[in-house]
Amino acid sequence: MIKWAQIINNYLKPRGIFYIIDNHPFGLIIDEHQEPFKVGYDYFNEGKPMYWDESPAYADPNAILKNQASYEWFHLMSDIINALLKADLELEFLHEFPFTFHNIHPDMKRREDGYWEFQTLKFSVPMMFSIRSYKKI
């Protein structure tokens, strides 16, 4: 799991910055086919890939995919952070957000700023995160 972080460290200059923003692992356990909000996927899935065979593509809902099959690997927040730390990168900050950059559930609505958030959920949940780290001197 840490190989990607080691590669990043290898290409950064001293004090060089690595910044990532992505879907929060918690948000990825939500079953996008169930209303209301329901957990549908295992957070601690032991690195097993998740298989998808559906359309449309999340990046373009109007795209017609010739090959719809895909595999995705779920990573815990601790996996991501620990990979950066083990690769000897200094963690500057971790931010978590109750919204995300694309529609992943039927209850979500696009805000004026372009982010998506739940409409009827009574509690906020982490849907996106960002981490800024840098290479030590």
What does the pLDDT read at residue 127?
A: 95
The pLDDT score that the predictor gives to residue 95 is: 98
Segments of the chain with pLDDT less than 70: 1, 55-59
So what's the pLDDT on residue 54? 73
- Residue from 94, 108, 95, 19 nearest 58 by CA: 108
What pLDDT is stored for residue 88 in this prediction? 95
The whole model's pTM is what? Answer: 0.84
